Amino acid sequence: MGKLSGGSLILVGRGLDSLKPLVSVDGEPSFEEPWQAQVLALAYTLVQNEMFSASAWSDALGEALREAEANAAADNQETYYRCVLSALERLVANHSEINSDVLAGKRKDWEEAYLSTPHGQPVKLKPDPAN
38 with 86, same domain: the answer is yes
90 with 104, same domain: the answer is no
Contact 96, 51 (CB under 8 A): yes
Overall domain count for the chain: 2
42 with 93, same domain: the answer is yes
Beta-carbon contacts of residue 66 (< 8 Å; ≥ 6 apart): none
Domain that holds residue 48: 2-98
pTM of the full structure: 0.67
78 with 114, same domain: the answer is no
Q: Tens digits of per-residue pLDDT, 66-100?
A: 999 999 999 888 899 999 999 999 999 888 888 77
Q: Tens digits of per-residue pLDDT, 29-51?
A: 677 888 888 999 999 999 999 99
44 with 69, same domain: the answer is yes
23 with 47, same domain: the answer is yes
